[in-house]
Structure 1
């Protein structure tokens, strides 16, 4: 049996805090995701507890009548709990050193383990087609797990939203970007 997992980066949001809602453009993007997935027979929708992730798939859940499953492990990675004026350089460094950790934060390896565990559990479940909605940094770490060429530059090129498809066929994992940001 072929299993598909659609990895969705949330739509455009008003900020980074967990309670940040989608922008007006982001709300339109969320409605477009309904059309984007209109030909997919979905079984499950799992989201980060962050408001922007939930709002990104609410229209899809309403259309498909699938209840959102919230999974804390899909929360965005905490780089640090202290203000980092040079956060960009620090984030870049964590792509090169997976164990690098800043005050109150988690390493890339720790964050990657969280999201990979969710994906592996979905592959082992009975669901054939699952949508997982999360955040750019942690999604990048997941994609890096299945494609070692996925790096900091790839993270920089992610769009809001963005969609990747992970297929598992006879225990072989195939990763593909299926989102065309020029369509919306």
Structure 2
């Protein structure tokens, strides 16, 4: 019996220094409705999310449809890049992807963030074996988790992600059988 994890990168959010409480933007709220439409025929059993507001808001619609509370897992939060804001986000991201063991002061390396995220996924595969689970998370962490199961998911892949984005990972036990992208940028225009 397969277990299906739907990894959902959050929709566009309003920028603020409050990483935890940043809400979705107007476009993000619109796209979150499309995420719900995309997932409502998938037979979802449970919805799990990062504690960050933007991730929760992106998957709230499907949780409401299946009449379940969102299960919050702190370790699905985005990786902390640095304790203080970096001068150039793109250069900083490039650096941590070039050296998976490197971290800025107070930040997480790719390896550290990946271990945290993969541990959650392995626990979910055991707890929800044979079920269909939506996992609301963030771009960097999502790709690091994906990379653990298939190395083709890398920095170049991360740069192609939409906001939001949805990938269905189908597992037999802890063995990845199939990956399918469910989100298409054109959905926003339909």
Paired residues for 1:1-184 under 5 Å = 1-15=1-15, 17-127=19-129, 128-169=131-172, 171-173=174-176, 174-184=178-188
Residue 4 of structure 1, CA deviation: 0.2
Deviation beyond 4 Å, 4+ runs, structure 1: none
Whole-angstrom distance in 1 between the partners of 2:180 and 2:144: 15
Q: CA deviation digits over 1:4-58, x for unaligned, max 9? A: 0000000111126221100111111111122101211111111001010111111
Residue 94 of structure 1, CA deviation: 1.4
> For structure 1, which runs of at least 5 residues remain unmatched after alignment?
none
Is the CA contact (8 Å cut-off) linking 1:75 and 1:134 kept in structure 2?
yes
Is the CA contact (8 Å cut-off) linking 1:147 and 1:175 kept in structure 2?
no
Distance 1:165 1:84, change over 3 A: same
> For structure 2, which runs of at least 5 residues remain unmatched after alignment?
none
SS of equivalent residue, structure 1 residue 158: coil
Residue 171 of structure 1, CA deviation: 4.4
SS of equivalent residue, structure 1 residue 66: coil
Is the CA contact (8 Å cut-off) linking 2:5 and 2:168 kept in structure 1?
yes
TM-score in terms of structure 2 length: 0.91
TM-score in terms of structure 1 length: 0.94
Residue 100 of structure 1, CA deviation: 0.4
SS of equivalent residue, structure 1 residue 79: coil
Alpha carbon RMSD of aligned pairs, Å? 1.4
